[in-house]
Copies of this chain bind each other. A is one copy, B any other.
């Protein structure tokens, strides 16, 4: 229909994208129990076309997973520069959990030191782990996350939260639960105060009663201007980062 500029190439790319997104959705809902024919049908292409792009169902799965990881990596990298470490870490985690649907199970491969055949997958997994590790360590350095957590721990927690979210029928209630669990990753000193649910941490990260840098809980004073940081150290650190860009 469209007068071709680069020839069929554009169509092929569009097809590939369509297949990926369709497969992504279906895998997220039905977790592998999806016939390839169904994917082809919904993508509006023939079965052969799927196989021209992805030589195996496994390959398609991997492509979906790689794409998913890349999106998460991008989101993580954005957070690394734009947010305070602790906020970045928790925001990232919540994002991962919310975006993964039932694909969370595939994430199990991420938990491995990962010698996986497919090179691209390995690369994506590694990049994901790097981002995750960086965010984790940064948050740990500023004391916003328990020091005894490894990246593998965090991955496992994320996968678990994913399935919590799909289990709890009430989506809002599910998010509250995830929030609660993620709060459990904060240093135990502040555990006493975690008792208020917050639904808005992700959507509007500015309005919180936690330290904007390290995420530690801030005492609520009835009077005066509400505190943004837990102390001078965090305030100074945040300022330096602001100035750096």
Q: A residues bordering B, Cβ < 8 Å? A: 52, 104-105, 107-109, 111-117, 146, 148, 150, 152-153, 155-157, 159-170, 173-174, 177, 180-181, 183-195, 197, 199-201, 203, 232
Which residues on B sit within 8 Å (CB–CB) of A153?
168, 173, 177, 195
B187 engages A188 (CB within 8 Å):
no
Bound: A156/B195 CA distance, A: 13
A115 engages B146 (CB within 8 Å):
no
CB proximity of A111 to chain B, nearest CB, Å: 5
Which residues on B sit within 8 Å (CB–CB) of A180?
184-185
Number of copies: 4
CB proximity of A73 to chain B, nearest CB, Å: 19
Majority secondary structure, A binding face = helix
B188 engages A191 (CB within 8 Å):
yes
Which residues on B sit within 8 Å (CB–CB) of A105?
163
Which residues on B sit within 8 Å (CB–CB) of A116?
201
Instruction: Tell which of B155, B160, B181, B195 touches A150, judged by Cβ atoms closer than 8 Å.
Output: B195
Given contacts A112-B169, A163-B163, 11 further A-B contacts (CB under 8 A): A111-B199, A112-B199, A112-B200, A114-B201, A148-B195, A152-B173, A152-B197, A156-B167, A156-B168, A160-B163, A184-B184
B107 engages A167 (CB within 8 Å):
yes
A195 engages B146 (CB within 8 Å):
yes
CB proximity of A242 to chain B, nearest CB, Å: 16
Known: A114-B201, A116-B201. A160 touches B188 (CB 8 A): no
- Chain A to chain B contacts (Cβ below 8 Å), 14 pairs: A52-B232, A107-B167, A113-B197, A113-B199, A153-B177, A153-B195, A156-B164, A157-B164, A157-B177, A159-B167, A160-B163, A181-B181, A188-B191, A188-B192
CB proximity of A164 to chain B, nearest CB, Å: 3
Bound: A165/B155 CA distance, A: 11
CB proximity of A102 to chain B, nearest CB, Å: 10
Bound: A117/B155 CA distance, A: 37
A194 engages B201 (CB within 8 Å):
no
A157 engages B181 (CB within 8 Å):
yes
Bound: A108/B166 CA distance, A: 9
